[in-house]
Amino acid sequence: MKEKVHYFVVSKSPGFRELTRFILEWQYDCVVTTSDSESAALEYLRQIDIFPHMIVYEYVPDAFLVEDFIAYIKESRKPVHFLVLAEKIHGPTGAYFESYPTFHLVKKELMWGKIFGLTQESFRGIVADNTEPMCRLHMEGLDSITGIDKDLFLKLPSGKMVRLFASGSANAADRQKYRDKGVQFLWLERPTCDWMVKQIQTQFHIFLSNKHFQFIMRGPEASAEQSFDQKIIRVCDELHLDPDFKKEIELVMEKVMDTVQKDIHLGKVIKMIREHNPDVSYFAKNLQLTSIISCFLAKKMEWHSKTTLDKLVYAAVLHDITLATKPHLQRISGISEFEEVRAQLSEDDQKTYLTHPRDAAQLAKSQFKFAPPETDVLVLQHHELPEGKGFPTKIHAEKLSPLTQLFIVTQDFVRYVMNEQDPSLEMYFLRAEARFEQNVFRRFILLLKKFKSKT
Ligand SMILES: [Fe+2]
C-alpha cells in the first residue's frame, strides 16, 4: 500500500482535534489519528509499530504526564516533527525545543503555516494532495461550527454517499440521533469545504484562545449583511465582550430605533434596516457595532449612566444617517481620504459628505428633542481629529469632551472592521497606536487592547 503522511493530533479540545483533522484531510491524502490527553497519546505511541510523521500537540502546562509525553518523544529517537502550540514550555523539557531540530515550538496563530510548510519541505516523496470530490468532518468538529447551509452526506460501507441532511437542516439535536447510532463522520462536497476551510483557518487563533467560540460559516453567496454580522460576532468574541451587557445595549438600540422610526423623514431608513434591505446593510451594521463598542468603552471608563449610554446609541444611529443609503460615502474615514477620492465622486455626493456631520447634528437637535442633551454635539464632531485635522469645525480633538473623543475612536475602529475583508485586531492596534501616538485618543485604544487581553 502506498505510504501516506501520518499526522497525530493531541488536544483536550474535541473541536481542535476534529477541525485540524478536517483541514489536513481536505488538503492531503493522509492519515490523521487523534488523542484527547497526554496519557492516551503515550499509550497509543507505545503500541504502534510505525511512528507518525508529525505530531501536533496543543500544550497545556501542568497536565498529567505532560513531561513524560514530551520526554518519550525525545527518547524514542524517531524522526517525527513534533509541533507544540505554546508560547513557552515549562520545566526542563523546554530545553528540547532549542536543541532538537524536529521539535518546534509554534505560536498558535502561526500553526497552519508551519504545518503546511513542514509537510511540503519534509515529506516531499510521500505527500500528495487530496483530490476526492467529498471530504469528511467529524460530528465533534461540526459542534464548533454554525451556519453550514449545505448538504451533509453519510458514507455507506459500500462507499455510496447518501444525503442525510439537506442544506441547513442539520441542527445539533438531529445530529445527535445519528451519533447515538454510531455515525461519527459526515461528508461534504469539496467546493463547500473550500470556503469552510478558508474561514476556519482565518478564525482559528480566536478559537484557540476562546474554546466556546463558534465558527460561523458564510457561503460565497452570503449577503453583505451576513458578512458584516459575522465580523461583528468575531470582533465581540475577540474582545471578550460580556454578552449580558451586549444584550442591554441592543435593547437600548431597539428603543432608540423605535423612536427614530416614528419620525416622518428618518422613519423610512429604520424601516429599511428592520426589513434587512441590502441598501442600508452597511449603515445598519455600522450603527450596531458603534453602539456596542462605544457603550463598552464608556462602561470601562465608568461612564455608564443611562443618559450616557442613550446618548452614545442616539449618536450611533444619527451621526451618518444622511449617508444611510450611500455606503461608498459612509466608508470614507475622514477629510484626507475624502480629498483622495473626491474626483471620483459626483458633485452631489461631495456636498452630502462634507455637510453630513452638520446636517445630522441639525436633525438630532431639531427632530429629537428627547435625545439626551448634547447628542447633537457628538454627532457634529464625529469626524474631528487631533491638531484640528478633522472636519467640519476643525476643532482640536484635545478640546473635545472625553465622550466625544471616545466616540471618534469608536468610529475609527468600527470603520476598520467594516471596511476590511478580514479585520485583524493586532493590525488595527498597530496602526492606531502609531497614528494616535501622544494624543488624547491613545487611552481609548489602550482600553480596547485591554478588552482583547482580558485585563
Ligand atoms: Fe460620518
User: What's the pLDDT at 150?
Assistant: 85
Residue 82: count of CB within 10 angstroms of its CB: 21
What the block records as the C-alpha cell of 309 is: 449610554
> Which of 84, 5, 16, 72 has its CA nearest to residue 44?
72
The rounded Å distance from CA 331 to ligand 1 centre is 8
Q: Which helix (H) or strand (E) holds 138?
A: strand 134-138
Kindly report the backbone phi and psi dihedral angles of residue 36, in degrees, each rounded to the nearest multiple of 5, phi listed first: -100, 0
Supply the mean pLDDT for the chain. 91
User: What's the pLDDT at 197?
Assistant: 94
Give the residue, 7 or 90, on which the prediction is more confident: 7
The letter for the amino acid at 187 is W
Burial of 433 (0-12, 13-18, 19+ CB in 10 A): middle
Contact at 8 Å (CB) between 207 and 213? Answer: yes
What the block records as the C-alpha cell of 34 is: 487523534
pLDDT digits 0-9 by tens, 265-282: 889 999 999 999 999 999
> Which of 401, 393, 399, 397 has its CA nearest to residue 412?
397
pLDDT digits 0-9 by tens, 369-416: 888 999 999 999 999 998 889 999 999 988 999 999 999 999 999 999
Residue 317 CA: distances (Å) to CA of 9, 19, 267: 48, 39, 12
Kindly report the backbone phi and psi dihedral angles of residue 105, in degrees, each rounded to the nearest multiple of 5, phi listed first: -90, 120
The rounded Å distance from CA 433 to ligand 1 centre is 22
Give me Rg for the CA atoms of the chain.
26
SS3 10: strand
pLDDT digits 0-9 by tens, 416-426: 999 988 788 88
The rounded Å distance from CA 218 to ligand 1 centre is 28
The rounded Å distance from CA 242 to ligand 1 centre is 27
Kindly give the residue spans of alpha helices, DSSP state H, lying in 265-401.
267-274, 281-300, 306-318, 327-330, 335-341, 347-367, 375-380
The rounded Å distance from CA 382 to ligand 1 centre is 6
The rounded Å distance from CA 307 to ligand 1 centre is 22
User: What's the pLDDT at 203?
Assistant: 82
Tell me how far apart the alpha carbons of residues 8 and 426 are, in angstroms, rounded to a whole number: 31
Q: Kindly report whether the peptide bond that precedes residue 392 is cis, defined as omega within 30 degrees of 0.
A: yes
62: left (phi over 0), alpha (psi -120 to 50) or beta: left
The rounded Å distance from CA 320 to ligand 1 centre is 5
Q: Angle, nearest 10°, between helix axes 442-453 and 425-435? A: 160
Percent of the chain with pLDDT over 90: 66
The rounded Å distance from CA 165 to ligand 1 centre is 45
Tell me how far apart the alpha carbons of residues 314 and 200 are, in angstroms, rounded to a whole number: 36
Tell me how far apart the alpha carbons of residues 193 and 15 are, in angstroms, rounded to a whole number: 16
pLDDT digits 0-9 by tens, 225-252: 888 988 898 899 889 999 899 999 999 9
The rounded Å distance from CA 450 to ligand 1 centre is 26
What the block records as the C-alpha cell of 247 is: 444584550
Percent of the chain with pLDDT over 70: 99
Question: Would you report the helix, strand and coil content of the chain in percent, each value rounded to 5?
Answer: 55, 10, 30
- Mean of the pLDDT values across residues 179-198? 93
Contact at 8 Å (CB) between 375 and 364? Answer: yes
The rounded Å distance from CA 330 to ligand 1 centre is 6
The rounded Å distance from CA 325 to ligand 1 centre is 13
User: What's the pLDDT at 251?
Assistant: 95
The rounded Å distance from CA 319 to ligand 1 centre is 6
The rounded Å distance from CA 405 to ligand 1 centre is 14
Residue 293 CA: distances (Å) to CA of 65, 234, 408: 43, 13, 11
User: What's the pLDDT at 172?
Assistant: 82
205-223 in b/e burial notation, b at 16+ Cβ within 10 A? bbbbeeeebbbbbbbeeee
Contact at 8 Å (CB) between 189 and 134? Answer: yes
Contact at 8 Å (CB) between 216 and 146? Answer: yes
